[in-house]
Amino acid sequence: MSDTTLLALFEDIDPAAEAIDKLHEMGIGDARINVISGIPFTHKMLGRPHPWTNVSRIALGGAAAGFVVGIFLNFGTPLLYNVSVGGQYITPIPPGLIIVFEMTMLFALLSTFLGVFLDSFFPNYRPMEYVPEISDGKIGVFFKVPQDEQQKFSDALNQLGAESVQPTEARQL
């Protein structure tokens, strides 16, 4: 029997969190549930596992790369083309710190931005499961259930205050 994806829409966070608990009780694991919302609810509020993100690691990697680039620009390039002026140091440290700082921050910020794109698979213009009511503040709980048990889950979530529980299909956003 194939699975079908149901979308339960909730007005508030409390019934949505209760519905997720109920789904767990009914044997639906976290991997088969997804929640979408118009504001960032934490995993604790929803009773969901902590979502993994690589953004901070990517940002750190970017900062390290920027640090290296800054070192190269300030301490490497003058040695590639050595211009001696008035006995001044070729690679002085104090001005070098400024370049290293700026390059570190630039790369850290760029990689943080890039990290969001990589982790969220942005841009993604393929059809996806979504309803516009989400940006009106509704909370959507997607879950996959065997097709023949659809009614059982709908009834359970309707009892918990779901505004609607319906099969959903990917659509063009």
Torsion (CA) 170, 113, 35, 150 in degrees, nearest 10: 30
Stretch touching other proteins by CB under 8 A, among 41-49, 143-151, 153-161, 162-170? 41-49
Q: And the tokens for 124?
A: 């993604």
- List Cα–Cα distances, 172 to 76, 118, 132, 136, in angstroms: 50, 21, 11, 18
Is there binding between residue 73 and other proteins (CB under 8 A)? yes
CA-closest candidate to residue 55, choices 121, 115, 122, 123: 115
In the stretch 98-137, what mask flags binding to other proteins with x, by CB under 8 A?
A: xx-xxx-xx-xxx-xx-xxx-xxxxxxxx-x-x-x-xxxx
- Is residue 167 a contact residue for other proteins (CB under 8 A)? no
Q: According to the binding rule CB under 8 A, does residue 65 interact with other proteins?
A: no
For residue 45, the surrounding DSSP H or E stretch is: helix 43-46
Q: Which residues bind other proteins (CB under 8 A)?
A: 34-43, 45-46, 48, 51-53, 55-56, 59, 73-74, 77-78, 80-81, 83, 88, 92, 95-96, 98-99, 101-103, 105-106, 108-110, 112-113, 115-117, 119-126, 128, 130, 132, 134-137, 173
